[in-house]
Structure 1
Amino acid sequence: MFQSFDSSADPRFGAARLAALRAELKRNDLDGFLVPLADEHQGEYIPPSAQRLAWLTGFGGSAGLCAVLADKAAIFVDGRYTIQVRQQVNTEVFEPKHLMDEPVGEWLKENVGAGRRIGYDPWLHTMAEVARLEKALKKVGAFLVAVDRNPIDAVWGEQPNPPVGPVSLYPDQLAGETSAVKIERIGKAVAEADADAAVLTMTDSIAWVFNIRGSDIGHTPVPLAFAILQAEGRPLLFIDGQKLSNSVRAALDAVVDIAEPDQFTGALEDLGRDERRVLIDPSTAAAKIGTLLKEGGAKLVEGEDPVTLPKAIKNEAELAGTRGAHIRDGAAMVRFLAWLDEAAPAGSVDEVIAAEKLEEFRRDTGALKEISFDTISAAGPHAAIPHYRVTRESCLPLKMDEIFLIDSGGQYEDGTTDITRTVIVGTPSAEMRDRYTRVLKGMIAISRARFPKGTTGAHLDILARQALWNAGFDFDHGTGHGVGVYLSVHEGPQRISKASHVKLQPGMILSNEPGYYKDGAYGIRIENLVIVTAEEPIEGGERPMMGFETLTFAPIDKRLVDVSLMDEGEISWFDRYHAEVREKLMPLVSEEDGVRGWLLAATEPLGPR
């Protein structure tokens, strides 16, 4: 299994570990310390060696920060984790806070006195984040102090070693572009930014530009590495040589100079001594990198990672590959949903069994490399936790007349998938059908949207929420995130959310996943991935419009749909979608095990209102 259902989170350890950290802070003349969920690359997913927040607090989500003072400590999470955090941490010693309602900086201003020294690890906070925190503390006369050694590392007795997973080459025919061409293209972008070089810190940027993949992080096929790309000349790749086979090293040697990670700081200092103009992204680069460059004499050119946008705009080879991956994955989902419909009412399924069975069906494709994230397999009240992670301790059985939500994805060499389906075991209540249909209407609204050049995700986000808002409901997460191709399942810069101001461009892949969550009762989310399509004229119109092509194909549970809440256009989209699901997936499922019959029934038209 790619997914473990063992829980490393244990609130019982929180008080003792917090006491040990405070003792270490006192020895280092610090009045507090900030513990983010981050590694040196600021990625969403980090290796076990960097799981300092989980070790200290027990919190197992994918985003958060703990602020520790001598007399109090608070853990800050976003809306996805407000329920989960209270289940996983000792709230007697760590006070949960909503990151948006009470930002870390505001909390520090209220709780830190003049002259206090608040420590932070400059490798684990971005330049932009440190600037915000320094500004907040300056207002109360306190100081943000960079540490040379993380104090948690001093008290974490069995901290794992950094990973050294093997690196593989990503085929040019799937990438659609050689690494040499990508390097030249990014070099021109660096020059256009009036810089001599760019420092790359994001692991998926590095994997994409050099056409490599890695195995240092679970579910995300990237190597941990840094790189410096020149406007002119060969780039530098800083990576542990243990990860490179002779053949991989030989291929990389043709396009990049390879160095060990401990040479990275020296290379940054060299850029300073040469007074180079260095492009760096303050929102993703560790503060330590900016400090080394500035202290060395480099001129910082602050701007977006030059790889981020080219990586987000998929070429035809990448799109063709990911379309194939989604059809393959859709067939696995159909097998799973058919099995679930038979097994769940018999009372033989729980959350772990369901997640294991879905991974089994994906493995049966013969193409699965990994899952793209820990499957969210959530029954009944657990479905109300948007990013619930099932463990053997928390596992619930699937019960009659309850909702079951499963959010999952696969990593295939030709594409990354992410799909959520919410189904009913038994008979839904009228309330469930109402909420489900409102979520469905939002998902359909995004799917059908047409929009002009220059449109951002913030412009479209309201479409996913309107049917919920009309009834007084909402959801506390974004409507959609970017997705890579055999890379990160959460990829920037594009999103569909209230806060996204990145212009959508043809070739970008996004998720479309509105939801509704009733605390302690049930949750609903329906998710497809979509591709931004090129501008096309509309008959009778004056401006060409972009739109979305749906990538994900799997039935949506008709038993939860209240057709009376849908208009004719929504019903037509739903029925056309299911007809396409049937057409694409029927050839890939077997007649012997009854899956074809199930698929035929699941994709029958809704009919009129």
Structure 2
Amino acid sequence: MFEARFQTFADAAAPSLGTQRLALLRAELERRGLDGFIVPRADAHQNEYVAPCDERLAWLTGFTGSAGVALVLREEAAIVVDGRYTLQAADQVDTQSFEVVPLAETSPERWLEKHLPAGARFGYDPWLVTVAGLDKLERAAAAAEAVLVAVDGNPVDAVWADRPSAPTAPVELRDLALAGESTEDKLARIRTALAEEKLDALVISDPHAVAWSFNIRGGDVAFTPLPLSWAIVPREGRASLFIDGRKLSNTARHELAHHAEIIEPVFLDRAIDKAATGGAVIRLDQATAPALFAARIEAAGGRVSTGPSPVALMQAAKNAAELAGMRAAHLRDGAALARFLAWFDAEAPKGGLTEIDAVAALETFRRETGALKDVSFPTIAGAGANGAIVHYRVTEATNRPIRAGELFLIDSGAQYEDGTTDVTRTIIVGEPSAEMRDRFTRVLKGHIAIARAVFPAGTSGAQLDPFARQFLWAAGVDFDHGTGHGVGAYLSVHEGPARISKLGTVALARGMVLSNEPGYYKTGAFGIRLENLEIVVEAPTVEGAEKPLLAFETLTLAPFDRRVVERALLTPEEAAWLDAYHARVRAEVGPLVDGPTRAWLEAATAPLAD
């Protein structure tokens, strides 16, 4: 009945190929006079999801996780991964050829300091390393008394015989009714920001920011509707958009030509040289700009200004049209979620369901809306102990039956043309234990605390983060991820710069959309995460308030599993919030679903018993 797509790297190196491919790379390095090379899991934009042609780390090592770095020397090699991927890397990588190094134990730079021989020539691709990343490499090389060398042409590409071609998915023009602001007006705002910061030009290296600025979308990477591209916006004069012309229809080219010169990406480096002449001050986005850009600007006599792109905050604060689209997308998604949850409640107690079955069913219900463009990230579906793995991704090898007496955590999202969704629910099959009820309710209390928060303008995500943790802290437990991340409008499901986190320093502003997802994870037993998306809105008037106040409007419309709520742990205000939220879900989603789903929804959203 159901089917799902699982993104795989078709030519990932099995352990049997790791040694062979490592030998090919070492031969190429020797030919170039290099003693080592760094292979990050990155593309030239530092995207979270990359095109198959940029999966160099997977081709070389077999590791298919979303974060990692390989360090290759003449006699030894290592792959450094964070805690999410230690077990996965050990399974996928030939450990006779690559040492798997947990990031918690040592960083790539520390490994180099220890293993890089004095006098060695260590190479890096300046397209794949940011300015900040290069600074770390330079310090590591200096500590090892080695020489750092920028390569011209990536040596992995030279030995990757069947490397996929660069993507050329067609560019789509975003309707103004969905974008809410014209490209002309967005470019004018960017120029105003450049003038305020006394900058001569901005190089836009993040394709999410290019997509937002020029009101375009694409399909060059999975899960995010990106057209891989670059732009240069001068404070005065015409902007330049660097994009493969094969992606542009005549209509798209004609429209974009009103706002910018359309130039092939091969000419980007020369354009940067030209923009930098005469001592011009050029802003590079510190998070995404390749180190190559800084080197070229300085060589051309310009000055580099590294810092956040002014586009990031503009993009994060959604306008009225974007928010209307997000609301419509979440209502549509809520109906698909209700169908899934009703189906799951009917089928799971019978036995026989697996994690993959659930992923396939949920994607099918979303596809049946007729509006699904893609899922917004690979669905996390963890039964029992797998739910305790925060970024677990089910495979055929790990697929687990969903059993009675266990919690099932499903974290998923969708890309619709009018908005992006991200939602997590934790569901019981059968009867929950007292411990499950306690932990679930503490997570729910933290979720409600964020949802009900009223806070002064200028408040950062770090200041709100403890709201979500306080009830877990009171029991001596916590969770090891942020409480929330920004979400784009038919763009990235993980959008900066704002977040609700211990590290969230950016002030929250009206129109931002963030996730609210506290959790609890008991290793080897179960995981709990409860996630809604929230819009930052102006708070209702508070008598005597001395400064503007902000609050959250909940976007997501899906029931929480009332069977796992320990009613005695909720205050009257918390219980009232949950009942009001469920009443809203029932009223808004109920008319959009079939009779059996509506009957299930009525029961699932009934008021809590006292």
- Aligned-partner Cα distance in 2 for 1:465–1:102: 28
Contact 1:61 1:387 in 2 (8 A): no
1:24 corresponds to: 28
1:316 deviates by 0.8
Q: What amino acid does structure 1 have at the position aligned with 2:153?
A: R
* Secondary structure in structure 1 of the residue aligned to 2:145: coil
1:518-562 per-residue CA deviation (whole Å, 9 max, x = no partner) reads 333322211111111125442354444211111111011112222
Q: What amino acid does structure 1 have at the position aligned with 2:214?
A: F
Question: Are the structure 2 counterparts of residues 426 and 96 from structure 1 closer, same or farther at C-alpha, using a change threshold of 3 Å?
Answer: farther
1:195 corresponds to: 199
1:287 deviates by 0.6
Query: What are the within-5 Å matches in structure 2 for residues 92-111 of structure 1?
Result: 92-99=96-103, 102-111=106-115
1:574 deviates by 1.6
- Aligned-partner Cα distance in 2 for 1:411–1:76: 31
- Aligned-partner Cα distance in 2 for 1:478–1:82: 20
2:605 corresponds to: 603
Q: What amino acid does structure 2 have at the position aligned with 1:43?
A: N
- Aligned-partner Cα distance in 1 for 2:115–2:568: 53
1:135-179 per-residue CA deviation (whole Å, 9 max, x = no partner) reads 233233223221112222122222111100000100011111111
1:375 deviates by 1.3
Match of 2:372 among 361, 364, 368: 368
Query: What are the within-5 Å matches in structure 2 for residues 286-325 of structure 1?
Result: 286-325=290-329
Q: What amino acid does structure 2 have at the position aligned with 1:322?
A: M
Question: Are the structure 2 counterparts of residues 449 and 79 from structure 1 closer, same or farther at C-alpha, using a change threshold of 3 Å?
Answer: farther
* Secondary structure in structure 2 of the residue aligned to 1:390: coil
2:162 corresponds to: 158
Query: What are the within-5 Å matches in structure 2 for residues 3-22 of structure 1?
Result: 3-4=5-6, 8=10, 10-22=14-26
1:526 paired with 2:530, answer yes
* Secondary structure in structure 1 of the residue aligned to 2:515: strand
* Secondary structure in structure 2 of the residue aligned to 1:307: helix
1:379 corresponds to: 383
Contact 2:424 2:529 in 1 (8 A): yes
- Aligned-partner Cα distance in 1 for 2:105–2:602: 47
Q: What amino acid does structure 1 have at the position aligned with 2:599?
A: G
Contact 1:81 1:385 in 2 (8 A): no
Pairwise CA RMSD of aligned residues? Answer: 2.0
- Aligned-partner Cα distance in 1 for 2:125–2:226: 24
Residue ranges of structure 2 left out of the alignment (5+ in a row) = none
1:93 deviates by 4.0
- Aligned-partner Cα distance in 1 for 2:4–2:243: 25
1:328 deviates by 0.7
Q: Which moved more, 1:370-379 or 1:139-148?
A: 139-148
Q: What amino acid does structure 2 have at the position aligned with 1:3?
A: R
Q: Which moved more, 1:215-224 or 1:81-90?
A: 81-90
- Aligned-partner Cα distance in 2 for 1:93–1:538: 64
Q: What amino acid does structure 2 have at the position aligned with 1:607?
A: A
Q: Which moved more, 1:6-15 or 1:28-37?
A: 6-15
1:334 corresponds to: 338
- Aligned-partner Cα distance in 1 for 2:113–2:432: 48
- Aligned-partner Cα distance in 2 for 1:529–1:287: 35
1:393 deviates by 3.1
Match of 1:74 among 75, 78, 101: 78
Contact 1:536 1:544 in 2 (8 A): no
1:101 deviates by 5.2
1:434-471 per-residue CA deviation (whole Å, 9 max, x = no partner) reads 22222222212211222212211111112222222232
Contact 2:4 2:359 in 1 (8 A): no
1:92 deviates by 4.7
Question: Are the structure 2 counterparts of residues 428 and 501 from structure 1 closer, same or farther at C-alpha, using a change threshold of 3 Å?
Answer: same
1:570 corresponds to: 574
Query: What are the within-5 Å matches in structure 2 for residues 546-561 of structure 1?
Result: 546-561=550-565
Residue ranges of structure 1 left out of the alignment (5+ in a row) = none
1:398 paired with 2:402, answer yes
* Secondary structure in structure 2 of the residue aligned to 1:166: coil
How many residues align? The count is 606
Q: Which moved more, 1:400-409 or 1:460-469?
A: 460-469
- Aligned-partner Cα distance in 2 for 1:108–1:606: 57
1:417 corresponds to: 421
- Aligned-partner Cα distance in 2 for 1:143–1:525: 47
* Secondary structure in structure 2 of the residue aligned to 1:23: helix
Q: Which moved more, 1:293-302 or 1:500-509?
A: 293-302
1:104 deviates by 2.4
Q: What amino acid does structure 1 have at the position aligned with 2:600?
A: W
- Aligned-partner Cα distance in 2 for 1:101–1:500: 24
Contact 1:5 1:390 in 2 (8 A): no
Question: Are the structure 2 counterparts of residues 61 and 567 from structure 1 closer, same or farther at C-alpha, using a change threshold of 3 Å?
Answer: farther
Percent of residue pairs identical: 54
Query: What are the within-5 Å matches in structure 2 for residues 244-323 of structure 1?
Result: 244-323=248-327
2:350 corresponds to: 346
1:17-53 per-residue CA deviation (whole Å, 9 max, x = no partner) reads 3333333333333332221111111111110100111
- Aligned-partner Cα distance in 1 for 2:106–2:475: 27
- Aligned-partner Cα distance in 1 for 2:578–2:318: 27
1:223 deviates by 0.3
* Secondary structure in structure 2 of the residue aligned to 1:345: helix
1:192 deviates by 1.7
Contact 2:239 2:261 in 1 (8 A): yes
* Secondary structure in structure 2 of the residue aligned to 1:278: strand
1:100 deviates by 5.1
Contact 2:454 2:539 in 1 (8 A): no
- Aligned-partner Cα distance in 2 for 1:476–1:12: 35
TM-score (norm 2): 0.95
Contact 2:4 2:364 in 1 (8 A): no
Contact 1:80 1:476 in 2 (8 A): no
Question: Are the structure 2 counterparts of residues 422 and 225 from structure 1 closer, same or farther at C-alpha, using a change threshold of 3 Å?
Answer: same
1:127 paired with 2:113, answer no
- Aligned-partner Cα distance in 2 for 1:551–1:328: 11
Question: Are the structure 2 counterparts of residues 498 and 96 from structure 1 closer, same or farther at C-alpha, using a change threshold of 3 Å?
Answer: farther
TM-score (norm 1): 0.95
Q: Which moved more, 1:390-399 or 1:451-460?
A: 390-399
